[in-house]
Amino acid sequence: IASVQRSFLPEALARFHQQFPACRTRVIPGLSMDLVNQVDAGEIDMAAIIRPPFSLQSDLRWTTLVREPYRLIVPADMPGEDWAELISAHPFIRYDRSSFGGRQVDRFLRQTHVSLREVCELDELDAIIKLVANGVGVALVPETATLQTWHAGVRSIDLKAHTFHRDIGLVHRARRSLTEPVSTLVQLINDHVLTG
């Protein structure tokens, strides 16, 4: 997840390499599903991902790092506060359904029975925000933990009682099978998230 690579991961990795200077780390991008499979196959030690919509295998563990609420974002000059009306009345930019986060948006839209007119579907949150800022449409996106303020060209609308979240966390093998360096890195990442 790009927001993880920009936020707490660099600090945790810096502390990790101070404690384990001989260890080598490799940060690889990928789809959450692929990363879960790589952890399960033992190809990588852990992955920072969006929580999957299914139960993990019994020897894998989940550690939640942050919960990010979804918001409707609209162009800054667009009037209105009713999220359902805004989605129905304007072109909708969809968070890619092949991603875990996009599946959450899809589930939300099906549960709320909001009518919409899709104009675009993509998996890059920064690109979605820029499309909204440029007046292409409206979108449901997570308010990421690294976001200090929204892009100047958008404003966010709280979904109130309908708010849903994406959980960002670590998937890794059960503690008994973790090596000391991996166990330490899990703890450093968790500590950094808790202390900011």
Mean pLDDT calculated for residue range 7-33: 85
Token pair 């304007």: residue: 90
pLDDT digits (tens, 9 = 90+) for 93-152: 999 998 888 999 999 999 999 999 999 999 888 899 999 999 999 999 999 866 667 888
pLDDT-derived band at 175 (thresholds 50, 70, 90) equals: low
Cβ atoms 15, 186 nearer than 8 A: no
Torsion of Cα atoms, 97 then 100 then 102 then 105, to 10°: 120
Domain that holds residue 147: 68-164
Structure tokens given for 105: 């948006």
The confidence band for 86, taking pLDDT boundaries of 50, 70 and 90, is very high
Residues shown for the chain: 196
Query: Between residues 173 and 38, which one has the greater pLDDT?
Result: 38
Q: Does residue 26 share a domain with residue 76?
A: no
* Residue 70: pLDDT band with limits 50, 70, 90: very high
Least confident residue range of 136-140, 152-156, 174-178, 183-187: 174-178
Do 83 and 139 fall within a single domain?
yes
Give the pLDDT of residue 141. 95
Residue 2: per-residue pLDDT: 67
Share of the chain above pLDDT 70, in %: 91
Same domain, 124 and 191: no
Please check whether residues 116 and 39 belong to one and the same domain: no
Q: Which pLDDT band, with edges at 50, 70 and 90, does 176 fall under?
A: low
Print burial letters for 75-105: b (CB count within 10 Å at least 16), e (below 16).
beebeeeebeebbeebbbbbbbeebbbbbbb
CATH number of the CATH domain containing 185: 3.40.190.10
Q: How does residue 3 score in pLDDT terms, banded at 50, 70 and 90?
A: low
Number of domains in the chain: 2
Same domain? For 125 and 53 the reply is no
